[in-house]
Structure 1
Amino acid sequence: MVNIVDQNRIGKSAMLLLLVDREEEEWNREFNELNWSYCTGKIGSMDSQKVVAAIETAAKRSGLVRGDLYREMHSLYHAIMEALSGVTRGQTQLGEVLRTVGLRFSIVRGTPYINEEEGEWIAVALYGTIGAPIKGLEHETIGLGINHI
């Protein structure tokens, strides 16, 4: 087994979680070695608010962020919005303009810098499809957001 999680690339690691098929045990081993944490999930919606809410809920339930700490939720929100902006090509509207998404997401929290004073960072990666709300009229899309905590 080759380690593919790069200790200095939190965004790359978040994307690999979505794009590389591996056993969860392998991911756990690599992220544990770095003392990083992560979670993954899926969301399909015509409402960008539901996408944000699903990712925030997953992050809180998995213990990646604390809902009672503003700085953690604020950082997560900005990472989500940056990733969503990539998925939607800068226009975060979905249902209002007759678009729907089917996405897998990953969230990674860790310390990608050698200097410990740089602190923790969070990355949100999205991969899936976007298009008209008609089966078969969608195409692939991808987005990544990274923010400091």
Structure 2
Amino acid sequence: MRELLRMTTFSKDRQIGRLAIMLLLSEHDQAEQQKMISDLGWLGCTGKVGSMDTNKVVAAIETAAKKNGVIKSDVYRESHALYHAIMEALSGVTRGQVQIGSVLRTVGLSFSILRGNPYESEAEGDWLAVCLYGTIGAPVKGSEHETIGLGINHI
């Protein structure tokens, strides 16, 4: 029983949500960030998107994940897991109502995507974390405020 509990515990150095936030908010250059990710044996990327259309935000994040090899585009469960992580992160950004353009709001966001196993046991498999940080507000310059969202989903 103790062995089972040990295998399913989080490794403190592998907290995927915390690392996704740190990756996004870090002032380190891209090469340093990629080294940190690869040292864990994980995959990840960062990017930016701005839009009044939720579907464009989702598409930009999915495209970055596929282009950077974070998920395989021909494996449905990976795209599905990413979609749910994105929607959870967007829910944080939009305070639970995943709407922007339809309620006259726009976002300017930076994002990070991480893929890895946050557990000590390899058998637990990979998880995805999506972190979004930026601004949300009326589509008028100066009418926005900061926002952040985090989504985590298993593959």
TM range (shorter): over 0.9
- Structure 1 residue aligned with 2:50: 44
The runs of 4+ residues in structure 1 deviating greater than 6 Å are none
Deviations 1:4-29 (A, max 9, x none): xx632101111111112002222222
> Could you tell me which of 99, 102, 111 is aligned with 1:105?
111
- Structure 2 residue aligned with 1:136: 142
Deviations 1:78-137 (A, max 9, x none): 000000000000111111100000000000001110011110000000000000000000
- Separation (CA, whole Å) in 2 of partners of 1:22 and 1:85: 27
- One-letter amino acid of the counterpart of residue 64, structure 2: A
- One-letter amino acid of the counterpart of residue 67, structure 1: S
Indicate if the aligned counterparts of 1:7 and 1:34 stay in contact, CA closer than 8 A.
no
SS of the aligned residue for 1:68 comes to coil
Which consecutive residues of structure 2, in runs of 5 or more, have no partner in the other structure? 1-11
- Larger-Rg structure: 2
Where in structure 2 are the equivalents of 1:15-30 lying within 5 Å? Answer: 15-30=21-36
- Separation (CA, whole Å) in 1 of partners of 2:85 and 2:118: 15
- One-letter amino acid of the counterpart of residue 98, structure 2: T
Deviations 1:43-100 (A, max 9, x none): 0000001100110000000111111111100000000000000000011111110000
- Structure 2 residue aligned with 1:148: 154
Where in structure 2 are the equivalents of 1:1-149 lying within 5 Å? Answer: 7-149=13-155
- One-letter amino acid of the counterpart of residue 119, structure 2: Y
- Separation (CA, whole Å) in 2 of partners of 1:146 and 1:133: 29
TM-score (norm 1): 0.94
User: How many residues in Structure 1 have an aligned counterpart in Structure 2?
Assistant: 144
SS of the aligned residue for 2:81 comes to helix
- Structure 1 residue aligned with 2:8: none
SS of the aligned residue for 1:58 comes to helix
- One-letter amino acid of the counterpart of residue 110, structure 2: R
